[in-house]
Homo-oligomer: A and B are copies of this chain.
Amino acid sequence: MVKEYIASNQERFLNELFDLLRIPSVSADSKHKDDVRKAANYVKAKLEEAGADTVQLVETKGHPIVFGEKIVNPSLPTVLVYGHYDVQPADPLNLWHSPAFEPVVKDGKIYARGACDDKGQFYMHIKAFEIMMKQDALTCNVKFMIEGEEEVGSDNLPIFVRDYKDKLKADIILISDTSLISLDHPSITVGLRGLSYMEVEVTGPNRDLHSGVYGGAVANPINVLADMIASLHDEKGRVSIPGFYDKVVNLTPKEREALNKAPFVLENYKKDLDIAETQGEDGYTTIERTGIRPTLDVNGIWGGYTGEGAKTVLPSKASAKISMRLVPNQDSAEITELFTKHFQSIAPKSVKVKVTAHHGGQPAVTSTTSKAYKSAEKAFEQVWGKTPIPTRDGGSIPIVSLFKKELGLETVLMGFGLDSDAIHSPNEHYGIKNFTLGIETIVAFYQHFAK
């Protein structure tokens, strides 16, 4: 019956999603401020159409949060759905096969920025809600909290969560913003990495210099920055910041064994990325390197002349964006401080160094024994005919630990994306099958959770 409803409404569902995907709600870029708000209003309208009450745009210092709810009966369990309507920047634009904000369907996949992360995924919840309302099958109260700043660190969400503590009362938080191992291997994310995101600027001379006249005698900020970045890892691929690993919880051999049971074929992984070899911390598998180990990556670097041809300049400045993925129980604020101190301490006297922090987030591990988790497990078994595998994801959803801390609520990460969906990359996409099966699974979750 749910299947049928989805089938007969699929075209409308997709067209609604496409309208949302056409809005370039890039939260990181201030010139898209109005687009972000436009997306918020669109989500509000769709929640209202689906049958939610008291839907509102909650203003923040940044982008608004869409909040709405449907209380069918206070005695029933309450599900709090979280999602985000903001998206990552689309560049490099020239690598997209079709425009990032003009969704197209190819081989059963929707191509657009945000198709999977997270518009396509949270929109499944609005459609699941619509179905349950239309079919008089809403077995739980439901609350929606869809924010617009996830891609920039959810800076204003903690304030909202504190202010709306009462309104956010619920039994469980349900989030679809993660991946399945594959369509053949449904999985539920039970661990997420945290994040510290830094920006550094190295200044040498007070102006760009002629590299012939000064080269060899004046510290070149690009060379210095390269030295400093290189020194952030040791020869074993470990992050060399003092204290970085102090609080890392090491898994037991048994836990590691279980983790590595997840289906993974290194050759396919390398083939998909067109790399001859993987590279990471010695002594850990690829699944462990992305799942249970902290990392440090340069996300961007720039300095000097980057135009066409050759310019013999010894630049005044060089900069980089550097982020660290954290695991339980590393603390984002503490790591941010360790990085800042260390990076300043390794700067040679010949340069000046400025370190600033972008957003951070705490790592999280969720329960695999809660009623909510078991309900999600049953929902997958019902729709997919398979028991989902619990996995540790490399990505970060900082708010999971925030909700635990502020609201005392557990989260179930019922995501339906695939790692190959190219989120944060050109040609991001989301399978229509993932979208429709996801809706069905969400509806099934409500049924099991109400029992």
Contacts and interface: CB of A to CB of B under 8 A. Distances in A.
A204 B277 CA distance: 10
B305 A223 contact: no
Centre residue among A199, A311, A348, A394 by max chain B CB count within 10 A = A311
Contacts of A350: 275-279
A253 interface: no
Contacts of A206: 273-275
B210 A424 contact: yes
Given A310-B323, A311-B28, A393-B213, A299 B305 contact: yes
Contacts of A297: 211, 215-216, 220, 222-223, 314
A226 interface: yes
A208 to B, nearest CB: 4
Given A289-B217, A312-B197, A303 B304 contact: no
A359 B29 contact: no
Interface stretch (A46-54, A85-93, A127-135, A163-171): A85-93
Interface in A261-301: 273-281, 286, 289-290, 293-295, 297-301
A159 B256 CA distance: 67
Interface string A20-56: 0000000011100000000000000000000000000
A195 interface: yes
A308 to B, nearest CB: 6
B91 A215 contact: no
A223 B298 contact: yes
A219 interface: yes
A273 to B, nearest CB: 4
A366 to B, nearest CB: 16
A152 B310 CA distance: 6
A230 interface: yes
B426 A276 contact: no
A206 B91 CA distance: 15
A359 B309 CA distance: 9
B425 A88 contact: no
A450 to B, nearest CB: 33
A209 B299 contact: no
B290 A217 contact: yes
B301 A321 contact: no
A210 B211 CA distance: 36
Nearest to A117: B210
Interface in A377-411: 393-396
A230 B279 CA distance: 19
A348 to B, nearest CB: 7
Contacts of A207: 95, 273, 422, 425-427
A286 B217 contact: yes
Contacts of A310: 28, 152-153, 197, 199, 299, 321, 323, 358-359
A349 interface: yes
B311 A212 contact: no
Given A204-B275, A289-B217, A297-B215, A311 B88 contact: yes
* 7 A-B pairs with least C-beta separation: A212-B395, A216-B295, A28-B309, A300-B304, A230-B230, A226-B229, A206-B274
26 contacts: A28-B307, A88-B313, A207-B273, A208-B424, A210-B424, A211-B325, A213-B395, A214-B394, A216-B280, A216-B289, A216-B290, A217-B286, A217-B289, A217-B394, A222-B297, A222-B301, A223-B233, A277-B348, A279-B350, A299-B313, A300-B306, A301-B301, A302-B303, A310-B359, A312-B323, A313-B425
Given A195-B312, A207-B427, A227-B230, 10 more contacts: A179-B213, A206-B274, A212-B325, A215-B290, A216-B325, A226-B226, A227-B229, A278-B350, A299-B304, A309-B358
